[in-house]
Amino acid sequence: VLATLRKPKAKDRIRSFLSLLAKIVEEKKTNLIIKRKQIAGITGLSYENVVRTMSRMQKQESRRVRLW
């Protein structure tokens, strides 16, 4: 897991993290609420970088991401 989070691009770090979360949620058949600030802490990115990157990802991709 940590190896995938050390990718140089913010988009790759966030995408890897969200993919991991999606697998966990699917296995547990539950909902998961995680704040952008938490994503920043886990991925080692700044809060602002996470906000910008996730906003771009949400516009470009059909993936459903609810931002808090």
Q: How far is CA 32 from the centre of its chain?
A: 12
Residue type, 61: E
pTM of the model: 0.67
Predicted confidence at residue 63, as pLDDT, reads: 56
User: Tens of pLDDT along 8-58?
Assistant: 688 888 888 888 888 888 888 887 788 899 999 998 899 999 999 888 877
Residue ranges of domains in the chain:
2-60
